Amino acid sequence: MAKIGLKALRHSYLPNPTAEADWALRQIDLDWSDGGAYALLGPSGCGKTTLLNIISGLLTPTEGTVLFDGRDVTALPPDQRNIAQVFQFPVIYDTMTVYNNLAFPLRNRGIGEARVDTRVREIAEMLELTDMLGQRASGLSPDGKQKISMGRGLVREDVNVIMFDEPLTVIDPHLKWKLRSKLKELQQKVRVTMIYVTHDQTEALTFADQVVVMQDGVVVQIGSPVELFERPAHTFVGHFIGSPGMNVLPCEVRDGGAFFQGVHVPIDEGIGGIEGSRRLEIGVRPEFVRFADAGIPVEVFKVSDAGRHRIIETRANAARIHLLAPIGGPVPEGTAYLAFDPARTRLYADGWLAGANSGGNTGSNSGGGA
């Protein structure tokens, strides 16, 4: 187990980067503590795979250092960092049996056969692969093969961190949750630090204790799934997480209050921390918007049935506001009024949560304990 620290990390795939856009990772300062379950969440191209490969050692960062337990490992190759990585599509040694696949990393390190056997059987048991140990690995289904990949990572006892790069991509949808729960179960049992990279919020939110949200090469927020949902530090996080995402509405602040299209929107937290910012927005999740007798005037535009609830799209001039309503309840037609829950309404300055800091990013948080 190890504490992993990333200091002043910047990476570019180009030999001579000049503009900001040339950098895949723009400034990462991050600490991961021991034994935690982390998710790296973000849209395609945000830099999460790059970050993963830098931690595992498959990539050397253009700038910055990687520390394992305080030791600088930036120049060390992967096999000397005691890490394991599971890739998007199952990587197994076709010609070997399941047993030999799992034994491979141990044998390469010269571990005695007796110990190898114990370990392999232990892990096979955990992954429910015991019956297939004698089979040729190439004959298994994709989820079986992915389990072997995971197994090869778990079988080594000196592993500092196991990294998963979108491991459920090729798995059948109805098997995904099974594998995911198995993974969570394993994490809690074995207590190895695990970093799970994905663009799927469900995977991230259900697996991780702490989620690291990235966009465009920077870390936008770190927090537990609840924190991310309730207090998104950035409009991007609010928008990305939740389905549908948070409503982001342009507003102005005057006379000590926030106003949207002339209507006062009460915010419990107040409106501090917005000095020097140019763009002010209100963020509120559809879960916390309801119809009221007075408030923001809107046109009810569309009602969609989403199974467990209904999503109602309303329009206030050019802006759209979504809210949720239970199935079967009454939905007003034509014009109506909306009210936002003041405890759950946030003010955003230039995209960042007002008062969080003065316009900088929240990338220098440490990911708290599991």
Partner 1 sequence: MATKTDNQKAWFFVLPVVVLVAFNALIPLMTVVNYSVQETFGNNLFFWEGVGWFEQVLHSERFHAALGRQLMFTGIILAIEIPLGVAIALTMPRQGPWVPVCLVLMALPLLIPWNVVGSMWNIFALPEIGLLGRAINAMGIDYNFTQQPLAAWFTVILMDVWHWTSLVVLLAYAGLISIPDAYYQAAKIDGAKAWAVFRHIQLPKMKRVLTIAILLRFIDSFMIYTEPAVLTGGGPGNSTTFLSIDLVKIALGQFDLGPAAAMSLIYFVITLLVSWVFYTLMTRDDAK
Tell me how far apart the alpha carbons of residues 151 and 183 are, in angstroms, rounded to a whole number.
11
Helices 98-108/142-154 angle, 10° precision: 30
Task: Specify burial of residue 6 (Cβ count, 10 A radius: 0-12, 13-18, 19+).
Answer: buried
| The one among 88, 169, 364, 366 contacting partner 1 by CB under 8 A | 88
> Of these, 27, 67, 97, 104, which contacts partner 1 (CB under 8 A)?
104
| Sheet strands side by side (includes 319-326) | 289-292, 335-340, 296-305, 309-316, 319-326
Sign of CA dihedral 158, 67, 29, 169: negative
Question: Is 149 an interacting residue with respect to partner 1 (CB under 8 A)?
Answer: yes
d(CA 168, CA 100): 23
Beta-bridge partner residues of 212: 40, 222
111 binds partner 1 (CB under 8 A): no
**Residue 112 touching partner 1 (CB under 8 A):** no
Residue 109, interface with partner 1 (CB under 8 A)? yes
Residue 261 has, within 13 A of its CA and on its CB side, a CA count of: 13
The DSSP secondary-structure symbol of 56 reads H
- Told to check if 84 binds partner 1 by CB under 8 A, we report yes
Query: Which one, 35 or 57, has the nearer CB to partner 1?
Result: 57
Shortest separation between residue 86's beta carbon and partner 1, angstroms: 9
Among 22, 75, 89, 141, binds partner 1 (CB under 8 A): 89
Residue 13 as a binder of partner 1 (CB under 8 A): the answer is: no
Nearer to partner 1, 2 or 84 (CB): 84
Residue 129 in contact with residue 148, Cβ under 8 Å? Answer: yes
Determine, following the binding rule CB under 8 A, whether residue 177 of this chain makes contact with partner 1.
no
Task: Say how far apart CA 203 and CA 190 lie, in whole Å.
Answer: 20
Query: Is there binding between residue 72 and partner 1 (CB under 8 A)?
Result: no
Stretch that binds partner 1, among 26-34, 82-90, 240-248, 309-317 (CB under 8 A): 82-90
User: What amino acid occupies position 252?
Assistant: E
74 in contact with partner 1 (CB under 8 A): no
Nearer to partner 1 (CB atom), residue 49 or residue 210: 49
> What residues between 218 and 257 interact with partner 1 by CB under 8 A?
none
CB of 83 to partner 1, least distance (A): 7
108 scored as a contact of partner 1 (CB under 8 A): yes
What minimum distance in Å lies between the beta carbon of 256 and partner 1? 57
Whether the CA torsion 123, 166, 176, 229 is positive or negative: it is: positive
By CB under 8 A, is residue 316 in contact with partner 1? no
Nearer to partner 1, 86 or 323 (CB): 86
337 binds partner 1 (CB under 8 A): no
Both tokens of 42, joined, read 């973000």
**Of 330, 327, 223, 349, nearest in space to 274 by CA:** 349
> According to DSSP H, which parts of 57-166 are helical?
98-108, 113-126, 142-154
Q: Which of 14, 60, 72, 93 binds partner 1 (CB under 8 A)?
A: 93
Closest approach of Cβ 152 to partner 1, in Å? 6
Contact set with partner 1 (CB under 8 A): 56, 58, 77-79, 83-85, 87-89, 91, 93-96, 104-105, 108-109, 149, 152
